[in-house]
Structure 1
């Protein structure tokens, strides 16, 4: 005979980590599925389960998924770089944007120089009255 727990859903990653029963109204279950235990572990290590629970209860339900994703990203960044976290990543990306903007400006300047030197001039004196747009015979 099968036990009643056989038919129940597995506990969410948070409840499994915290070793508690996962109730149907568990605030963590929609955002920390059982197949993503590291996500909750990282968030718990940085922010604590109690703080995450309070945060999720204080914000609107339609904002919770984004909040959890932000917490998970920040927690992972903090574990990689305890001092700067996401700010370090943002700084690196901002520097890359500035470098790429400088490179783009240099390429645009080169393109302007190229166009001014190598684009042929279609002046009336140099093409003997031929119209380059009509095949050179002067007819429209």
Structure 2
């Protein structure tokens, strides 16, 4: 009978019981996952947390603990909260790029509209001169533009 021990039981060099609370979440083929979580939270604390949670929530809890532990190891001061300024910077960069792209599109649409309208109506300058809008401004009849 071959029994594979979970990463936790391997780490502590003990026999892995059939009802081991860690075995579904810390497989033997990924020992760094447990090492990372153990380094930040400790095996005893993780075991207590898992025992208090309903079985259906444990996998998500272990994923969260692993992610937070990994971030804490990379950035001991801020942990995963340290990602927020970086994400805000990425968001600002994307917003600036979006604004530039929208301005370019508006500019291109304006040029296309001017190019299409020019053969039909003549240049926009001659159109304004014909209506005396440039020289005299708008009178009361055209005030609905405002």
Task: Tell me, yes or no, whether TM beats 0.5.
Answer: yes
**Could you say which structure has the higher helix fraction?**
2
The match for 1:69 is 63
* Alignment deviations for residues 26-60 of structure 1 (CA, whole Å, 9 cap, x no partner): 11000000000000001000011111111111112
Cα RMSD of the aligned pairs, angstroms, is 1.8
Question: Cα distance, 1:114 vs. partner?
Answer: 1.6
Q: d(CA) in 1 for partners of 2:116 and 2:105?
A: 17
TM-score relative to the length of structure 1: 0.78
Greater Cα radius of gyration, structure 1 or 2: 2
Question: Cα distance, 1:89 vs. partner?
Answer: 2.1
Question: Cα distance, 1:122 vs. partner?
Answer: 5.0
Q: d(CA) in 1 for partners of 2:59 and 2:85?
A: 25
Aligned residues: 120
- Describe how 1:102-117 pairs up with structure 2 within 5 A: 102-117=96-111
User: What are structure 1's unaligned runs of at least 5 residues?
Assistant: 1-6, 128-140
TM-score relative to the length of structure 2: 0.75
